[in-house]
């Protein structure tokens, strides 16, 4: 998959939006959905996606949909920092396979970063479901407060 091509409605994030695939949901409204990454680069690695746009990447999305996406991304970044107290927080987004994109529905990565941990781009291991559940509970509670 490159930068160009058709949107595949069967991609995993489209399935998550439709409720056909599970996720550790953190936040949802009419415009966006936020959930934990299954292969986190660090604890709390989260994804924020637009729900209405069939956009594979940043170049394809209607600019009016960017406001809600970025608002939710900032809110989640703040909540991750408050709850997990990382040394930094990375917000990243890739367009096209050569740029690192593997799922072709636009998404923002929000990744707590801890000193000395390194900057992995893709994690090899699936997270422990118990750890994801515990993180989900903490973050959902803080998002609601």
Task: With beta carbons less than 8 A apart as the criterion, state whether 48 and 108 touch.
Answer: yes
User: Residues in contact with ligand 5GP, total (CB under 6 A)?
Assistant: 11
State yes or no: is 107 an active-site residue. yes
The count of other CB atoms within 10 Å of the CB of residue 122 is: 8
Which residue number is nearest to ligand 5GP in terms of Cβ? 39
* Contact window for ligand 5GP (CB under 6 A) among 30-38, 50-58, 75-83, 133-141: 30-38
Nearest distance in Å: CB 94, ligand 5GP: 4
Rounded to an integer, what distance in angstroms lies between the CA atom of residue 9 and that of residue 25? 20
Nearest distance in Å: CB 40, ligand 5GP: 7
Nearest distance in Å: CB 5, ligand 5GP: 14
> By CB neighbour count within 10 A (0-12 exposed, 13-18 middle, 19+ buried), where does 70 fall?
middle
Rounded to an integer, what distance in angstroms lies between the CA atom of residue 25 and that of residue 143? 12
Rounded to an integer, what distance in angstroms lies between the CA atom of residue 8 and that of residue 101? 14
Q: Which two tokens stand for residue 141?
A: 């509670």
> Which is the catalytic residue, given 45, 107, 109, 122?
107
Please identify, using beta-carbon distances, which residue of 124 and 145 lies nearer to ligand 5GP. 124
Q: Which of 96, 4, 111, 101 is nearest to 48 (CA)?
A: 111
* Contact window for ligand 5GP (CB under 6 A) among 31-39, 55-63, 70-78, 134-142: 31-39
Question: Residues 80-109: x/- map of binding to ligand 5GP (CB under 6 A)?
Answer: --------------x-----xxxx------
Residues that bind ligand 5GP (CB under 6 A): 12, 23, 35, 37-39, 94, 100-103
């Amino acid at each position: 998959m490159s930068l160009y091509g058709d949107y595949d409605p069967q991609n995993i994030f489209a399935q998550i939006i439709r409720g056909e695939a599970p996720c550790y949901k953190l936040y949802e409204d009419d415009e966006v959905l936020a959930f934990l990454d299954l292969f986190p680069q660090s604890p709390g690695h989260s994804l924020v996606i637009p729900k209405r746009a069939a956009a594979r990447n940043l170049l394809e999305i209607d600019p009016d949909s960017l406001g809600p996406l970025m608002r939710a991304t900032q809110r989640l970044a703040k909540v991750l920092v408050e709850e997990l107290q990382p040394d930094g927080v990375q917000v990243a987004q890739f367009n096209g396979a050569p740029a690192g994109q593997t799922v072709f529905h636009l998404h923002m990565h929000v990744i707590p970063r801890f000193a000395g941990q390194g900057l992995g781009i893709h994690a090899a291991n699936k997270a422990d479901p118990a750890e994801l559940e515990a993180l989900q509970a903490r973050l959902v509670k803080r998002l609601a407060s």
